[in-house]
Chains A and B, each alone.
Chain A
Amino acid sequence: MTDLEAYRTQAAAWCESMVPTFGKAARKWLSVEEDLALGRRYQKAKFDAGYAGINWPTDLGGQGLGHIEKITFEGEEMKHGFPNVYFGISLGMPVPVLMQFGSDREFVKERVLKALKGEEIWCQLFSEPSGGTDLAGLRTRAETDGNGWKINGQKVWTSWAQYSDYGVIVVRTDPTVAKHKGLTYFWVDMKAPGVTVRPIKLAGGDSHVNEVFFDDVKVSDDHRMSPVGGGFAVAIATLMIERYVATDSAGFGPHLDLFVELAKEVRLNGRPAIEDGRIRQQIARNHAMRAGLDSINRRARLMMQAGMTPGPEGSLNKLVAVRSRQKLSELALDLQGTDAFAFDEHASPKDDWASSWINAPTGRIAGGSDETLLNTIAERILGLPQDHRPDKGVPFNQIPA
């Protein structure tokens, strides 16, 4: 057995041992607040067992291992539906960027430890009503205020802001220069006066995203994590941190064997649906697509193990998997006919077709829309030209609103 296989076996056993306390059954009837509290206990258990900050430096409380160990653990962890979703963004981007760019090292160390133990949560305040994909088009501004800064404006789609203690934020500090040259990166205290968080209820019924308003929120200059006007580079660095994450060829929806089971149970025209050519074709096509992603991901893991950089084809995961999950979920509802009407808002998108279907659009938009991902593939991998951008090089305050 290789070291990595031994690591996986151990991780799998640990995850298995957590199921009675933190698994799906234990979470079933909990309110969001109760679930979050359980999640904090789970995060602490991970920390105590050495599964928090797996690839982070040991002097900041991490385990000092590699990406490969991290995604190996995540691959095991995701099988069980543990309450870890509240910490995904926090530990995925804001806290790593704090580790990298935070100037007060004592402060950084304290925050990192509390975040790893689930005691504190960080959010990422990037998107705005006027700029999601077009990040550099953001309008929230920071003006000098004595020795510090004063922030005014609005952020949106901020995951878990309602439970967050801190956030990282990109704001405009100079509207007279081209749009991404006038941005600066800060961290903010989410409990500071002038910060208002308002949850947004999504189509599927849950409210993990928020609007966040800033009214004369004062931050001192030691909150600044980039040079003044150098915020865009740190924002991009933030988005690059999570390049190696565990992926799911089912697009975080139900696995194909659940569809096959359904097709064996349901009868169509008096015969099991699994004998229907239309259904068979969809099963075969989806299997081939998912098997392709699985193979891409297996190859990426082998390359990491061999100390190589995985190829750019890993960028296909979200694009391909979520899109097909959406269609397969529609088809699964078709298969059930009117039996599909009964709807449980709290069911998991990973094993309930209606929940998977109604939440699928979020997956195709959040974290880079399908269209943005296609642009990225075309431009970064294939070398095709950027789109025409009329605002290129134009001072921000002269771009037509």
Chain B
Amino acid sequence: MSILYDEGQQAIATESRRALEARVNKDELLPLLQTSGQYHDGFWTTAKEQGWTALALPEAYGGLDLGLVELGLIAHQAGRSLSGAPFLTSSFGAAKAIELYGSDEQRARWLPGLASGETIGAIAFVSGPDALPAVPPVTSKAGQVAGTAPGVSGGLFADVAIVFAQEGGTPALAIVDLAGIERKAVDSFDNSRCIADLLFAGAPGEALVTGDAARAAALHILALQAVVTAHEQTGGAEALMEIARDYALTRKAFGQPIGAFQSIKHRIAELYGLVELARANAIHAAAREGQNDFIPAAAAARLSATEAYDTAARDCVQIHGGIGVTWEIGLHLHMRRARTLALEQGSSFFWEDILVDRLAGAHA
């Protein structure tokens, strides 16, 4: 896969940007912060209507057979406009797990709904600071799962979850039908993520992969999601860089635009550097799907995207001064989202370790 976008890919970027800018705005996103358990309906409806949910899934199950590069382009635009729901990434991760590790029966049951967006998927791997815990809090035994999967993004509305569990002392990747499952909403600093603790008490769960292969499979799914998220983070960082630039051009102090002061213009130029490095790594990683260097490429993309988005959030607010910290201007939407995306799919610590283990030859 080339790292130069072709015309079709460029059209996906243009069209998704147009659709999102028409449907999502901060005035609708702000109230969602103060309610638990609501996502931005316009965003998710747009995603379904535009076929983004189907984009990277196989044609046989209602998908469009495109890949990570195209989904990344959508995610980039979603990051610019702020995704109104986490499902684009979470459903993609769940669908890929079912596509890659499920049976024909499981694929037929779940993939068409995930492709149309009528079914929502979630990934429940993480436990606190551990992206892939050595001892997962959920146990799987004789077709049933028990225990609590904490902090699952999209968990409030998901119909199906891929759970990293333990089965007789070894890891297992299980698919769990979430119908009738007890969910405890997490009132978070970014409520449209619809985060929930999933409380399993003997729910039916079918193991997709067990043993060491389960850990490798879970890491692969995390990496796929991390590349999508890296695009989203890059989009958010890019939007913030532009907002900061535009503000620095219009706001005047001491008789000139504040963007004429080097303390401001250099800060924005540094953001440009972070955004371009993140973009380059994200594009590269998306193009490496299916190659043996995919995991380290995903890790690099994840690390630079997290750094870019967090830094852009910090600096964009700083450049705005007082107005930047008001509720109404909404820069905190990006601040919150930057942190949310930094924590979903494993923190920087996790990806640093994944990367260094490979560079140092521990996993050669």
Chain A positions near chain B (C-beta within 8 angstroms): 256-257, 260, 263-264, 274, 280-281, 283-285, 287-289, 291-296, 298-299, 302-303, 306, 313, 316, 319-320, 371, 374-375, 377-379, 381-388
Bound complex: CA A170 to CA B342 (Å):
52
| Known interface pairs A296-B280, A316-B276; A385-B259 also in contact (CB < 8 Å) | yes
Binding site of A, secondary structure by majority: helix, strand, loop or mixed?
A: helix
Asked if residues B245 and A384 are in contact (CB atoms below 8 Å), the reply is yes
B265: chain A residues at CB < 8 Å are: 374-375, 378-379, 382, 384-385
Among B9-17, B333-341, B351-359, the stretch in contact with A? B351-359
Residues of B within 8 A of A (CB): 2-4, 241, 245, 248-249, 256-257, 259-260, 262, 265-266, 268-270, 272-273, 276-278, 280-281, 283-284, 296-297, 299-301, 303-304, 307, 351-353, 355-356, 359-360
Shortest Cβ gap from A278 to chain B (Å): 11
A-chain residues with CB within 8 Å of residue B359 when the two chains form the complex: 256-257, 260, 283-284, 287
Q: For the complex formed, measure the closest distance between the CB of B251 and the CB atoms of chain A, giving whole angstroms.
A: 12
B280 touches A378 (CB 8 A): no
The residue of chain A having its C-beta at the shortest distance from the C-beta of B260 within the complex is A385
Of B296, B297, B303, most A-chain CB atoms within 10 Å: B303
B49 nearest CB across to chain A (Å): 32
Contact B273 A385 (CB under 8 A): no
B83 to chain A: closest CB distance in Å? 24
Q: Which residues of A contact B260 (CB under 8 A)?
A: 384-388
Not counting A295-B284, A302-B3, a sample of 8 additional A-B residue pairs whose C-beta atoms are within 8 angstroms of each other reads A257-B359, A264-B360, A283-B356, A288-B355, A292-B281, A302-B4, A374-B266, A378-B265
In angstroms, Cα B280 to Cα A77, docked, is 25
A-B complex: 8 closest residue pairs judged by Cβ atoms: A292-B277, A295-B280, A284-B352, A378-B265, A385-B260, A295-B284, A377-B269, A313-B276
Give the distance in Å from the alpha carbon of A387 to the alpha carbon of B261 in the complex: 7
Q: A280-B356, A319-B273, A385-B257 are in contact. Are A295 and B283 (CB under 8 A)?
A: yes
21 A-B pairs within 8 Å (CB atoms) are namely A257-B359, A284-B351, A284-B353, A288-B304, A288-B307, A291-B300, A293-B280, A294-B284, A295-B283, A296-B276, A296-B277, A299-B4, A299-B283, A371-B266, A374-B262, A375-B262, A383-B249, A385-B249, A386-B260, A387-B262, A388-B260
Residue of B nearest to A257 (CB): B359
Closest B residue by C-beta to A302: B4
* A374, B270: Cβ atoms closer than 8 Å: yes
Q: Is the CB of B269 within 8 A of A288?
A: no
Contacts of A280 in B (CB 8 A): 352-353, 356
Report the bound CA distance from A388 to B258 in whole Å.
11
Q: Which of A274, A291, A378, A388 contacts B269 (CB 8 A)?
A: A378
Residue with the greatest number of chain A CB neighbours at <10 A, chosen from B276, B299, B355: B276
Given contacts A280-B356, A283-B356, A371-B266, whether A384 and B276 have CB atoms under 8 Å apart is no
B262→A371 contact, CB < 8 A = yes
Closest-by-CB residue of B relative to A381 is B272
Q: Establish whether residues A388 and B276, one from each chain, have CB atoms under 8 Å apart when the complex forms.
A: no
Whether the Cβ atoms of A284 and B256 lie closer than 8 Å is no
Q: Residue on B with the closest CB to A298?
A: B3
Q: Which residue of B lies closest to A386 (CB)?
A: B260
| With contact pairs A287-B359, A288-B355, A378-B269 given, residues A384 and B259 touching in the complex (Cβ less than 8 Å) | yes
Interface centre among A256, A257, A295, A302, by most B CB within 10 Å? Answer: A295
Which chain A positions have C-beta within 8 A of B262?
371, 374-375, 387
- Chain A residue numbers with a CB within 8 Å of B276 are 292, 296, 313, 316
B268 CB to closest chain A CB (Å) equals: 6
CB-defined contacts of A287 to chain B, threshold 8 Å? 296, 300, 355, 359
Query: How far, in angstroms, from A96 to B356 measured CA to CA in the complex?
Result: 44
Q: Please count the residue pairs between chain A and chain B whose beta carbons lie under 8 angstroms apart in the complex.
A: 134
Is the Cβ of A374 less than 8 Å from the Cβ of B352? no
Please state if A292 and B280 are interface contacts (CB–CB under 8 Å).
yes
Also in contact, A284 and B356, with CB within 8 A (given A292-B280, A316-B277, A387-B260): yes
- On chain B, the residues within 8 Å of A316 by CB distance are 272-273, 276-277
Nearest chain A CB to B265 CB, angstrom units: 4
Which of B241, B260, B265, B270 has the most chain A CB atoms inside 10 A of its CB? Answer: B265
Residue from the list A260, A298, A299 in contact with B360, Cβ < 8 A? A260
Question: How far is it, in angstroms, between the C-alpha of A299 and the C-alpha of B265 when the chains are bound?
Answer: 27
CA distance A10 to B140 in the complex (A): 58
Tell me the minimal C-beta distance from B197 to chain A in angstroms. Answer: 29
Question: Given A378-B266, A384-B245, A385-B257, A299 and B3 touching (CB < 8 A)?
Answer: yes
Residue with the greatest number of chain A CB neighbours at <10 A, chosen from B245, B268, B352, B353: B352
A321 to B: closest C-beta gap in Å: 11
Shortest Cβ distance from B238 into chain A, in angstroms? Answer: 12
Q: Assuming the A-B contacts A287-B359, A371-B262, A378-B265, are A320 and B273 also in contact, with contact meaning beta carbons closer than 8 angstroms in the complex?
A: yes
Which residues of A have CB within 8 Å of B259?
378, 384-385
B residues in contact with A302, CB < 8 Å: 2-4
Q: A280-B352, A385-B259 are in contact. Are A292 and B300 (CB under 8 A)?
A: yes
Q: In the complex, what's the smallest C-beta–C-beta distance from B363 to chain A, in angstroms?
A: 13
B353 contacts across to A, CB distance below 8 A: 280, 284
The interface residues of chain B lying within 8 Å CB-to-CB of A285 are 303, 307, 352
B280 to chain A: which residues have CB within 8 Å? 292-293, 295-296, 299, 313
Chain A residues with Cβ below 8 Å from B257 are 385
Q: Smallest CB-CB separation from B355: which chain A residue?
A: A284
**Partner among B245, B256, B283 whose Cβ is within 8 Å of the Cβ of A382:** B245
Residues in A with CB closer than 8 Å to B266 are: 371, 374-375, 378
Specify the chain B residue showing the minimal Cβ separation from A283. Answer: B356
List residues of chain B with CB within 8 A of the CB of A320.
273, 277
B355 CB to closest chain A CB, in angstroms? Answer: 5
- Of the residues B2, B277, B304, B360, contact of A274 by C-beta under 8 Å: B360
Shortest Cβ distance from B306 into A: residue:
A288
- The smallest beta-carbon distance between A314 and chain B, in angstroms, is 9
Give the residue name and chain of the B residue nearest to A279 (CB).
B356
| B245 pairs with A284, CB closer than 8 A | no
Question: Could you say which of B4, B272, B284 contacts A291, with CB atoms under 8 Å apart?
Answer: B284
A311 to chain B, nearest CB (A): 8
Cα(A371)–Cα(B269), bound, Å? 10
On chain A, the residues within 8 Å of B284 by CB distance are 291, 294-295, 298
Report how far A138 CA is from B356 CA in the complex, Å: 49
Other-chain residue from B256, B281, B296, B303 in contact with A295 (beta carbon distance below 8 A): B281
